Structure 1
Amino acid sequence: MALSIATWNINSVRLRKQLVVDFLEEYRPDVLCLQETKCPNDAFPAGAFRKIGYDHQAIHGQKGYHGVATLSRVPLSETTRRDYCGVGDSRYVSVIVEAGATRIRLHNFYVPAGGDEPNRAVNPKFAHKLDFLEEMKALNAQAESEAGVSAVLVGDLNVAPLETDVWSHKQLLRVVSHTPVETEGLTEVLSRGGWVDLVRRHVPPEEKLFTWWSYRARDWEASDRGRRLDHIWGSPDLAPALARVDVLRHARGWERPSDHVPVIAHFDV
């Protein structure tokens, strides 16, 4: 069967509820993972998404900050919420996606941005980000406790690991999201966990690819100073099932957009 999984940092789900509805109605991914929802669970606009067929939902939010949510047209089970770094942030939720005979543990992450100064000693936000990445290194794509279950990891990981994931590798080496300590940390999460970078399996690593453009740019499209902060990874058994990946660059130009755009992976499972 065909299965599509999308990830999108929405930067306030209540502010951009209609954008999400329009996206779901036009693209109809089977599953959508949202990050930075910025609202507690009881304020999440669940009904608007159920109306258009996304009946299965796993929400982990908090007032005004952070927050993740997974919306699905196919059954979900075994929801897990975890407080990474033990600071009370809602940055992770996982579910089992029931896709025919295939069961997929889907991890939805919103990694801390890390502030402006890439120095652990003077910037607690950067220290938190590095600690969060360190904790993620224990997450294995083929968990021994879930034999026979494939895995997908998605989200705004707030790191652009490759030189071609940023508009200028040289100019961003000391800018948070592309510093060596971050890129090496995320690369170790990927390799130690046995994950496959599905987006870069579809789009060659030599090609520039961005999923985020700052609000600060007067003309984001003309300047094109983007970064690839949004990722879709999979367990090795799912890699051959990947049919294509869509990065909806044009979504950055929608009315009152998020600064991130949706990324969709399509599988034949």
Structure 2
Amino acid sequence: MSFTLATWNINSVRLRAGLVEKLMREEAPDILCLQECKSPVEKIPREAFEALGYRWMVARGQKGYNGVAIFSKLPMQEARAEDWAQMGHARHIAGQLENGVTIHNFYVPAGGDIPDREQNEKFGQKLDFLTHMRDDFRAAPPEKSILVGDLNIAPREDDVWNHKQLLKIVSHTPIEVDHLAQVMEGGDWVDVTRKDIPEGLLYSWWSYRAKDWDAADKGRRLDHVWATPDIANAAHGSRVLRDARGWEQPSDHAPVFATFDL
């Protein structure tokens, strides 16, 4: 089986349903994982996506915020939905394909603006969420698994536009990078995107605050595709669809793709 997968923080699946359809028509990934859907499951415009061939959906939703969904052209059944760090948030869903591959779709908390859990509860929640992920993967090491999503951390120096300037900015602080590294080690995960694109600046998010995001290019790589070692070498063709950031009324994230030959 060969399939192409994409992950995208859509920032409201209902508001940007047209952009989702555009991606499905023009890029046609076999599996599309969305985060920040901001919709109850029953109000996701599933019929429009089904008409484009995405017959299977697994999702967890909330009104107005969070929410994750996987749309698939390939038969898929729900495998797991975890309330990480017991936050009561819809931030994880997992689906399993007929070949036994499990796809985890995560939306890690952003963490607020102050990188100090004593001053900022949201930052503490983010670290706790990552710690729960780490402990879970250590307790039951995953196999034949792919992990994607908006992990809200740019771990490498070349995952941000300016490493030194962002060291004290949430999403690139050393403590966040360390927590994410422990999650990776806990599941022995391989960063598929950087396996395929090992060198150079690479971003998937550009702030709405920039008047000309493309020219300023002050991006961060917050969106990730990982795989367990038993299938990581089957991955190739990783890319970021930067153009999607420039679509009309866009998300501030761009889709990230990878293909797996399994």
> Deviation at 1:85?
1.4
SS in 2 for 1:74: coil
Alpha-carbon contact 2:58-2:78 (below 8 Å) kept: no
Alpha-carbon contact 1:141-1:150 (below 8 Å) kept: no
* AA matched with 1:130: L
State the match for 2:70 in structure 1.
Answer: 70
State the match for 1:50 in structure 2.
Answer: 50
Aligned partner (choices 193, 196, 213) of residue 202 of structure 1: 196
Is 1:162 paired with 2:156?
Answer: yes
Aligned partner (choices 128, 133, 138) of residue 131 of structure 1: 128
> Deviation at 1:77?
1.7
What pairs with 1:1-269 in structure 2 (closer than 5 Å)? 1-98=1-98, 102-140=99-137, 143=140, 150-204=144-198, 206-269=199-262
Alpha-carbon contact 2:138-2:186 (below 8 Å) kept: no
> Deviation at 1:237?
1.4
SS in 1 for 2:100: strand
CA distance in 1, matches of 2:80, 2:100: 15
Mind listing any 5+ residue stretches in structure 2 that lack a counterpart?
none
CA distance in 2, matches of 1:48, 1:83: 29
User: CA separation of 1:172/1:195 partners in 2, compared to 1, >3 Å: closer, same or farther?
Assistant: same
TM-score (structure 2 length as normaliser): 0.97
CA distance in 2, matches of 1:187, 1:139: 14
> Which piece of structure 1 moves more, 246-255 or 169-178?
246-255
Q: State the identity as a percent.
A: 52
* AA matched with 1:247: V
* AA matched with 1:112: P
CA distance in 2, matches of 1:3, 1:142: 29
SS in 2 for 1:103: coil
TM-score (structure 1 length as normaliser): 0.94
**Cα offsets for 1:177-214 (capped at 9, x unmatched):** 0000000100111112110000000001x311000000
> Deviation at 1:141?
9.0
* AA matched with 1:194: D
CA distance in 2, matches of 1:95, 1:36: 17
Alpha-carbon contact 1:85-1:132 (below 8 Å) kept: yes
CA distance in 2, matches of 1:7, 1:107: 11
Measured on the aligned residues, the alpha-carbon RMSD in Å equals: 1.4
Alpha-carbon contact 2:111-2:124 (below 8 Å) kept: yes
SS in 2 for 1:190: helix
Alpha-carbon contact 1:75-1:97 (below 8 Å) kept: yes
